[in-house]
Amino acid sequence: MAAEAISRALRDGALEGEHAPALTIKDSIHAPLGAFVFDHILAQLSSNISSSKSQAQGIVLVAFARSPQFYAELLKSKANDAASLKKWLRIVDCYTDPLGWKSQLAESGIVSNRSTQNATTASLCKNARDLDMLFSSIVELGKEVIRETKGRFAVAIDSVSEILRHASISSAASLLSNLRSHDQVACLFWLFHSDLHEMKASSALEYISSMVACVEPISNTTNGKGMNSENLPLIEQNLGRGKFSVRFKRRNGRIRLMSEELHTEQMGINFVPAFEDYVTSQSLVPKVQFSLQLSEKERNDRAKVVLPFEHQGDGKPIQIYDGRRSVSESKTENKETNAEKMHVNEDSGRGEIIYIRDSDDEMPDSDEDPDDDLDI
């Protein structure tokens, strides 16, 4: 399932010498469910952190769109107590006073300096336009939650759309890149609303990400034009359900696509397999005039084929070469190829081919890349 794959990737964190995995969650006004996905991912990662199952030992949450109190309540409702939260959660509060207006007014005595922070571990940001300072705040708070020198923390930003209101796309991209390449960041994820920005901004954010999760409407409506009673059920449906498509970018450049449906519920969201999942996977096969896939009969026939040198095995079981050489085989090294060994039986006076297969049978164009785990 796509959502589970995301949670696993964020839980596992960064490999040594690699940038941290980065997730973009994007939605639009016709399927405004991105915030639900963000909350879900945050809750999942928090659960892994509190049970020490993740590489990240804590989270630094940058709150622009919702208050620190909202997130504290959210995480408490997922079975985290306040004391536990203080150990591994830090919040950069860019919600309460992002431009320093309240502080200025309080300093001049116009309003009272009433603090809105209660039991949350929030650090107030008074200048959301200064992304260098924001980066420093994130890193500083991150160091508070890691327990060892080589420990790492996760970063979550609840609205890159808000960052882009205060700063340019290049500054925002630079902030995210710097976080991703920081050697103490395990993973990071953020939400933005794609219809609030130009295409180049969306593309820039997606290029920085190793995973892009897109929430789209379940039903196509007429975009609000000619609002009538026929459109309403569809529009209402889109407020509670959506298509959830995720694009994973592997290290070797290959892309993996997954999709499912998401449904909002009172306590969060639920992911279910998409009804059109089979259709979607079929549609990924290009439409050409020759067959690219095997039928059932062809698969069976293929399984029955005995390879040319194996039928000379005289009833002995078919072996698969495991890379270890015997002493006798090393004498005939000059005559060896990668997949075959030629052995001359001096006693019998006739040639014999001893063939050991170098791997198990594999379907052509299989999704799994055998070189995927190579650290080239």
Partner 1 sequence: MMSSNSANNLLDEALGFNDECGGGGGGLLLLIEDRVETSGAFILHHLIKRRLSSPNRPNDVVVFLSFAHPFSHYDRILRKMGCNLGVQKENKRFVYYDMLNLNYPDGEKGAEDLLLSVYGKIQKTVELCSSREGYKNSTIMIDDISLMEVALCGSSNLVLDFLHYCYSLATQFDCLVIILNHEDVYSTVDVPSPLLQMEYLANIVIKAEPLATGLATDVHGQLTVLNKGICQGSGCSKSKIRNFHFRVKENCVEYFYPGSRT
Of residues 195 and 358, the one with the C-beta less far from partner 1: 195
Q: Contacts with partner 1: how many residues (CB under 8 A)?
A: 48
Of residues 70 and 135, the one with the C-beta less far from partner 1: 70
Q: How far is the CB of 227 from partner 1 (least distance, A)?
A: 5
Handedness of CA 346, 350, 351, 357 (dihedral sign): negative
By CB under 8 A, tell whether 86 contacts partner 1: no
Spatial distance between the Cα atoms of 91 and 71, rounded to a whole number of angstroms? 9
What are the structure tokens assigned to 271, written together? 């992911």
By CB under 8 A, tell whether 101 contacts partner 1: yes
By CB under 8 A, tell whether 107 contacts partner 1: no
- Cβ–Cβ < 8 Å for 92, 123: yes
Stretch near partner 1 under the rule CB under 8 A, chosen from 232-240, 279-287, 307-315, 320-328: 232-240
Stretch near partner 1 under the rule CB under 8 A, chosen from 135-143, 225-233, 246-254, 303-311: 225-233
* Binds partner 1 by CB under 8 A, chosen from 96, 121, 184, 210: 96
Pairing of the two strands 241-249 and 211-217: antiparallel
Contact pattern from residue 160 through residue 199 relative to partner 1, giving x for each residue in contact according to CB under 8 A and a dash for the rest:
-x---x---------------------------x-xxxx-
* Binds partner 1 by CB under 8 A, chosen from 21, 98, 217, 242: 98
What are the angstrom distances between the C-alpha of 194 and each of 25, 28, 174, 368? Answer: 9, 6, 19, 32
What are the structure tokens assigned to 350, written together? 């006739």
For residue 71, list its beta bridge partners.
Answer: none
By CB under 8 A, tell whether 77 contacts partner 1: yes
For residue 74, give every residue at least 6 positions away whose Cβ sits within 8 Å of its Cβ, in sequence order, or none. Answer: 39, 42, 43
Q: How far is the CB of 97 from partner 1 (least distance, A)?
A: 8
By CB under 8 A, tell whether 264 contacts partner 1: yes
* Binds partner 1 by CB under 8 A, chosen from 5, 12, 87, 116: 116
Of residues 112 and 337, the one with the C-beta less far from partner 1: 112
* Binds partner 1 by CB under 8 A, chosen from 52, 229, 338, 348: 229
Return the SS3 of 54.
Answer: coil
b or e along 321-354 (b: 16 or more beta carbons within 10 Å of the residue's beta carbon)? eeeeeeeeeeeeeeeeeeeebeeeeeeeeeeeee
For residue 23, list its beta bridge partners.
Answer: 189, 211
By CB under 8 A, tell whether 79 contacts partner 1: no
By CB under 8 A, tell whether 153 contacts partner 1: no
Stretch near partner 1 under the rule CB under 8 A, chosen from 148-156, 262-270, 302-310, 358-366: 262-270
* Binds partner 1 by CB under 8 A, chosen from 29, 119, 294, 344: 29
- Ordered DSSP codes for 126-172: S-TT-HHHHHHHHHHHHHHH--STT-EEEEEES-HHHHHHHS-HHHH
By CB under 8 A, tell whether 76 contacts partner 1: yes
CA 46 centroid distance within chain: 16
Stretch near partner 1 under the rule CB under 8 A, chosen from 7-15, 222-230, 315-323, 330-338: 222-230
By CB under 8 A, tell whether 356 contacts partner 1: no
By CB atoms closer than 10 A (0-12, 13-18, 19+), residue 135 is middle
Spatial distance between the Cα atoms of 213 and 33, rounded to a whole number of angstroms? 12
Stretch near partner 1 under the rule CB under 8 A, chosen from 75-83, 143-151, 167-175, 351-359: 75-83
Contact pattern from residue 301 through residue 320 relative to partner 1, giving x for each residue in contact according to CB under 8 A and a dash for the rest:
--------------------
Spatial distance between the Cα atoms of 78 and 70, rounded to a whole number of angstroms? 13
What are the structure tokens assigned to 300, written together? 């069976």
Stretch near partner 1 under the rule CB under 8 A, chosen from 29-37, 168-176, 253-261, 317-325: 29-37
What are the structure tokens assigned to 250, written together? 């592997």
Q: Which residues bind partner 1 (CB under 8 A)?
A: 29, 32, 35-36, 67, 69-77, 95-96, 98-99, 101-102, 104-105, 110-112, 114, 116, 161, 165, 193, 195-198, 224, 226-229, 232, 235-236, 239-240, 264, 266-268
